[in-house]
Amino acid sequence: MTFIKTPTKGMRDFLPKEMELRDYVLKIMSDTYENFGFQKIATPVVEHIENLTSKQGGENEKLIFKIMKRGEKLSNADSSNLDELVDCGLRYDLTVPLTRLYANNMQNLPMPFRAFQTGFSYRAERPQRGRYRELMQCDLDIIGEKSNLAEIELITAVITFLQKLNFKQFTIKINDRQILKAMLNYANMPLELMDKILISLDKMDKIGIDGVREELQKLEIPDEAITKYLSLFNEKKDLFAFCKDLPIADEYVANLLEIIDNVNSQANLVFDPTLVRGMGYYTGCIFEIYADGLTSAIGGGGRYDHMLENYINMSVPACGFSVGFERLLLLLEESGFEVPHTKEKLCYVFDKNISKEEKKSLLKKVNNDRQNNKIVKIVEKSKNFKYQKETLESDGYQIIY
Amino acid sequence: MTFIKTPTKGMRDFLPKEMELRDYVLKIMSDTYENFGFQKIATPVVEHIENLTSKQGGENEKLIFKIMKRGEKLSNADSSNLDELVDCGLRYDLTVPLTRLYANNMQNLPMPFRAFQTGFSYRAERPQRGRYRELMQCDLDIIGEKSNLAEIELITAVITFLQKLNFKQFTIKINDRQILKAMLNYANMPLELMDKILISLDKMDKIGIDGVREELQKLEIPDEAITKYLSLFNEKKDLFAFCKDLPIADEYVANLLEIIDNVNSQANLVFDPTLVRGMGYYTGCIFEIYADGLTSAIGGGGRYDHMLENYINMSVPACGFSVGFERLLLLLEESGFEVPHTKEKLCYVFDKNISKEEKKSLLKKVNNDRQNNKIVKIVEKSKNFKYQKETLESDGYQIIY
């Protein structure tokens, strides 16, 4: 009989010590977000294949785990066309299912709706450190709030959560898709190349201004436009100074300033004109969260005011913030974070010759301690009691013999 | 663009009210089992197809959601053989992954190991009331405990959990595979038909003694044997009286008596010689939990001392108890169970003409309340304030205007 002991490629088993940390972080997150009025929802990991391949998922759509049809539908399918064999797949993010849930239930949900969803997503990527094929995602979304109250509340909620984990060394970078557009207009950059230009701009912190210039030149953009565009980044400016010469309505700048002003007393929030965010569905404010010293984000989000229009017959503004749970866990583990313990741990050790009556009364005592919210194990004394005792004690148990 | 708003067939979206109950029940469960020294583990929902089709899953193996290979492996596969296209699938229970995790990590786990695993399993069944294609399972297992301490602790833990939910009207039926075998020997029933005979016996509460007789006759078992076998059920007897004439060692009976004796002060535990449990891997004590008035179990388990041998090169005793989470939820919902709320809920409503400064100081107040562990929302006053107020109040929010 073939039996494979390791998890499937790129996925993980979690042993008790790891689970304790994961559960603790999720608990702090739930408690915090609950206080912000967010309500938990959940969706299946299996999603209609049509919804997964509807082109809102970008690169992730290439990484779908596809599920075969079953029964008659499978035997009737034309196996020369592999797509015909498939009717669903594993979700690659929580945004598609949130959209689906909202479209299907909006009449039963509060307006605005503060949604909180955690769950696994699946991406058939090449596994590497910190990148998994089964990854926990934690999404906060406010649907139906057109004002920047959404951005302020989302960012504050995430900051509060991280601070409760004693995670303090981080920066939130913020920008706005409208500013990104105004920057292109200011420099007469060809708008039809917007996506490609922004992909290059996004790499500024990795390849530097000269690297970006080279990439833009490859796009055959006139040198004059490139030079004017890149001159924007010659010196670090605050938001107000940066936007002074841009063709952008004052209200966009005021909007972003208000967000920064409201959040900055709680954590370091900085305007970064090179912040892009990959997904094309963002329409306004965008943000990413960086642990100090690391170059890749541990979370991010933004406003996506038009996405829901595609699925419901009305315009509903929306804004979301997703924390990279797996990356955060990695950082906590590396920093030696310990889950605080509050319950007393006892282990009753009994002799193998214990009588039935003694055992019965011992079990009563044990269950009484448990009623008093202690963690209590009961085990037979082993031949190597020294080792047994050491193991239990290193696991935090006080031995009662 | 095709976009399907409903979840995939047989699966469910969970709205906030449902999630609140599910989370509450899981929290009570985790807290309770933690006090019994159980440690949480988790495994991926995606499992090697080899492990899912290894014949320990019984009927469930027919219901596997199969996942297609990807990339080159898919294009190189022979599509005329559909099995060749598949390399993994969604787990149909938590037992296969627990076995795998234990086999792969036993040297890093305590001995005995008290494991607690919750997670979704997947079965492509025909959906019907209370039966879902994505179902939450909650498994407790003690691996490495050969004495009946395992059974006593597992049953006590589940009883304690249910009682904490104020769920009191239930009975635990208990039996032993050794007694089932002794009953067959006592009546000279053909042992090679054991599985089929037990399937019929299992239906006693549904089809009655005459129904079982008919089924056994169809198996062409001599009438004499059938009559002697069924005479065992002529009158309800306690365990001791029932086993008096059976060819079974006293220790098995004493073992079961001790379990009943230890648990009976806490809940109703009854010996039921017609209890079978479907899975062939059980070796000793088996049990099922029934809500009063319902004929199908809300949970069950038993001892499976030889299953792990197949995967590791040593014999390790094991015993498990799985609670049917979805069925329990249904019962709680039907009984009108309400999640107890402890946090105060406030909603600050502000006028749309609020100044930036006023909004900023309001947000400070809001966040201060949240630091004091209150659930606080902040919303703009809507044109239909009466409706807005009613909705918020029905959701438990106290309005502050």
Q: DSSP readout, A171-205?
A: EEEEEEHHHHHHHHHHTT--GGGHHHHHHHHTTHH
pLDDT (average), residues B15-42: 97
Q: What average pLDDT does this structure show over B228-237?
A: 92
**In terms of domains, do A292 and A376 share one?**
no
Q: Which residue of B has its CA nearest to A37?
A: B377
CB-based contact B377 A37, cutoff 8 Å: yes
Check whether residue B252 and residue B387 sit in a common domain: no
Q: What is the model's pTM?
A: 0.95
List the single residue in B68, B356, B375 with the smallest CB-CB distance to A86: B68
Contact between chains at B40 and A48 (C-beta distance less than 8 A)? no
According to DSSP, residue A91 is labeled -
pLDDT at position A54, please? Answer: 77
Judged against a pLDDT cut of 70, whether residue B247 lies above it is answered with yes
Query: What is the Rg, in whole angstroms, of the alpha carbon atoms belonging to chain B?
Result: 26
pLDDT at B62: 80
Contact A124 B100 (CB under 8 A): no
Whether residues B46 and A65 touch (CB distance < 8 A) is answered with yes
- Determine, yes or no, domain membership for A9: no
DSSP string, A196-236: HHHHHHTTHHHHHHHHHHHHHHHTT--HHHHHHHHHTTSS-
Closest listed residue to residue A205, CA positions, set A321, A279, A324, A294 = A294
Which backbone phi and psi does B206 adopt, to 5 degrees?
Answer: -100, -45
A395 and A305 both lie in a single domain: no
Nearest to B4 among A35, A48, A380 (CB): A48
* Residue corresponding to tokens 């966040």: B367
Facing residue for A16 by CB, picked from B5, B41, B370: B41
Task: Give CA separation, A67 vs A123, B45, B54, B91, B168, in Å.
Answer: 13, 13, 20, 13, 41
pLDDT of residue B130: 77
Which of B334, B353, B370 is a domain's end point? B334
Tell me what ipTM this predicted complex has: 0.94
**Residue A65: its chain B contacts at CB < 8 A?**
46, 67-68, 70
> Quick check: is A124 in a domain?
yes
Q: Dump strand ranges (E) for B75-192.
A: 86-90, 113-122, 134-143, 170-176
Give the closest residue to B197 by CA, choosing from B172, B177, B168: B177
**Residues A169 and A307 both lie in one domain:** yes
Residue B198 is assigned to a structural domain of this protein: no
CA B52 and chain centroid, separation: 18
The pLDDT of residue A292 is 87
Specify if B367 maps to a domain.
yes
* Beta carbons of B103 and A34 less than 8 Å apart: no
A136 backbone dihedrals φ, ψ, rounded to 5°: -75, 130
- As a whole number of angstroms, the distance between CA B298 and CA B288 comes to 8
- B328: three-class secondary structure by DSSP: helix
| Cβ pair B100:A50 closer than 8 A | no
Tally of domains within chain B? 2
B310, B334, B358 — which closes off a domain? B334
Distance (Å, rounded) from C-alpha B163 to C-alpha B156? Answer: 10
* Closest chain B residue to A31, measured at CA: B373
Name the average pLDDT for chain B. 93
| A16: nearest CB among B8, B40, B65 | B40
Domain annotation covers residue A69? no
Chain B environment of A266 (Cβ under 8 Å) = 367
Question: Residue B401: is its pLDDT beyond 80?
Answer: yes
How far is the C-alpha of A267 from the C-alpha of A292, rounded, in Å? 12
Pair of tokens at residue B277: 């449990």
Does the pLDDT value for residue B142 go beyond 90? yes
**What three-state secondary structure class fits B309?**
helix
The β-bridge relationship of strands B66-68 and B86-90 is: antiparallel
User: Is B174:B264 a contact under the CB 8 Å cutoff?
Assistant: no
Q: What is the DSSP letter of A289?
A: E
Under the banding of pLDDT at 50, 70 and 90, the label for residue B113 is very high
- For B350, the domain range is 345-400
Separation CA A139–CA A157 (nearest Å): 12
- Spatial CA neighbour of A290 closest among A101, A124, A111, A159: A159
Give the single-character DSSP code of A273. T
The residue of A3, A105, A361, A378 whose CB has the most chain B CBs within 10 angstroms, and thus the best one to mutate to test that interface, is A3
Helix (H) or strand (E) holding B389: helix B385-394
Q: What residue in A sits closest to B35 (Cα-Cα)?
A: A375
From B231's Cα to the closest Cα of chain A, the distance in A is 33
Point out the residue among B80, B90, B373 whose CB comes nearest to the CB of A79.
B80
Does residue B208 fall inside a structural domain?
Answer: no
- Which residues in chain A are contacts of B109 at CB distance < 8 A? 15-16
Domain stop point among B312, B334, B356: B334
Mark whether A257 and A120 lie in a shared domain.
yes
Q: pLDDT grade, residue B57 (50/70/90)?
A: low
Do B279 and B374 reside in the same domain of the chain? no
At A56 the pLDDT is 67
Query: Are A248 and A368 in a shared domain?
Result: no
With cut-offs at 50, 70 and 90, classify the pLDDT of residue B299. very high
B343/A13 Cβ within 8 A: no
Residues B23 and B172 in one domain: yes
Query: Given B16, B37, B51, which is nearest A41 (Cβ)?
Result: B16
Q: Which of B35, B351, B362, B389 to mutate to test the interface with A (most CBs of A within 10 A)?
A: B35
Q: What angle do CA A48, A284, A315 make, to 5 degrees?
A: 55
- Same domain for A243 and A371, yes or no, is no
Task: Please give, rounded to a whole number of angstroms, the shortest distance from the CA of B382 to a CA of chain A.
Answer: 10
Dist. CA B142–CA B139, nearest whole Å: 10
Name the residue among A376, A367, A373 with its Cα closest to residue A395.
Answer: A376
Looking at chain A, how many residues does it have? 401
Nearest beta carbon to residue B43 from set A7, A66, A156: A7
**Interface contact flag, A112 B379, Cβ < 8 Å:** yes
- Interface mutation vs chain B, best among A27, A67, A117, A345, most B CBs within 10 Å: A67
Respond yes or no on whether the N-terminal peptide bond of residue B112 is cis (omega within 30° of 0).
yes
Which residues, 6 or more positions from B120, have their beta carbon under 8 angstroms from its beta carbon?
A: A45, B45, B134, B135, B136, B137
Q: Which residue has the tokens 């070796």?
A: B283
Asked if A229 and A183 touch (Cβ cutoff 8 Å), the reply is yes
Quick check: is A222 in a domain?
no
If asked whether residues A161 and A274 sit together in one domain, one would say: yes
> Tokens standing for B283?
């070796």
CB-closest option in B67, B156, B378 to A65: B67
Chain B nearest-CA distance from A294, in A, is 29
Task: Determine the distance in angstroms separating the CA of B386 from the nearest CA of chain A, rounded to an integer.
Answer: 14
Same domain flag for B269 and B361: no
Alpha helices, DSSP H only, in B36-176? Answer: 49-52, 71-75, 95-105, 149-164
- Chain A residue numbers with beta carbons less than 8 Å from the beta carbon of B11 are 44, 46
Beta carbons within 8 Å of A382's beta carbon, 6+ residues apart: A388
Task: Give the gap in angstroms from C-alpha B315 to the nearest C-alpha of chain A.
Answer: 17
CATH code of the domain containing B308 = 3.30.930.10
Q: Please provide the average confidence, as pLDDT, over all residues in chain A.
A: 93
Q: Order across the sheet with A170-176: list the strands.
A: A39-40, A113-122, A134-143, A318-324, A299-303, A285-291, A170-176, A268-271
Residues B258 and B176 in one domain: yes
B354-392 pLDDT, tens per residue?
999 999 999 999 999 999 999 999 999 999 999 999 999
Q: At A401, is the secondary structure helix, strand, or coil?
A: coil
Per-residue pLDDT band for B218 (boundaries 50, 70, 90) equals: very high
Q: Is residue A279 part of a domain?
A: yes
pLDDT at B314: 85
Q: What does the radius of gyration of chain A's CA atoms come to, in whole angstroms? A: 26
Q: Which stretches of chain A score pLDDT less than 50?
A: none
